[in-house]
Amino acid sequence: METKDRISEAMEKHGAFFAFSNSQYDEQAIKGMYYVSLGMGLICPKGKQKQLTEDMNSASNNIIKEDLKKNGKKKIIHRELANHEASYTYSIEQTVEALEGYGITREEVQAEFRPYLDAHYKWEEEQERKAEATL
């Protein structure tokens, strides 16, 4: 099960929803129910916010464990370096921040940065050669 599905399941279980405008709130809120905002548009029935937060954190932690088991740290680091365009910015800061929940350290990201760049530029060179060969 995907993280998104697990998060959605936790939200449904606790009657939570996202609303970014009054009309979205009005469409989803149950009359007579008191709600609290948990930030970033997340709305939850009053009194259920602690359990919702725990369930959402649990879902996120489970998917991180599955990701580490399935892909390993090296692939995850390389994926996140690509996602944060580290080969263009030459910065690992966003990647380090994104991987904090994984327990992956700055030193581990730094150690993989050069091998990631080498693989990235090798791939780009291969793509250029293929493109030139088709001209």
At 69-108, the pLDDT tens digits run 999 999 999 999 999 999 899 999 999 999 999 999 999 9
Q: pTM of the prediction?
A: 0.71
Q: Within 13 Å, how many C-alpha atoms sit on residue 57's CB side? A: 7
Residue 30 DSSP class: P
State how far the Cα of 85 lies from the Cα of 80, in Å rounded to an integer. 8
Residue 125 belongs to domain spanning: 3-133
- pLDDT per residue over 23-56, tens digit each? 999 999 999 999 999 999 999 999 999 999 999 9
pLDDT at 1 > cutoff 70: no
How far is CA 82 from each of CA 8, 85, 91, rounded to the nearest angstrom? 27, 5, 11
Of 82, 36, 26, which Cα lies nearest the Cα of 92? Answer: 82
Q: What span, in angstroms and rounded, lies between the C-alpha atoms of 49 and 55?
A: 10
In the prediction, which pLDDT does 131 show? 84
Beta bridge partners of 35: 45
CA distance 112 to 118: 10
- Domain total of the chain: 1
Q: Which residue has the tokens 């944060």?
A: 84
For 110, half-sphere exposure in the C-beta direction (CA atoms, 13 angstrom radius) is: 4
- H or E segment and range at residue 109: helix 106-133
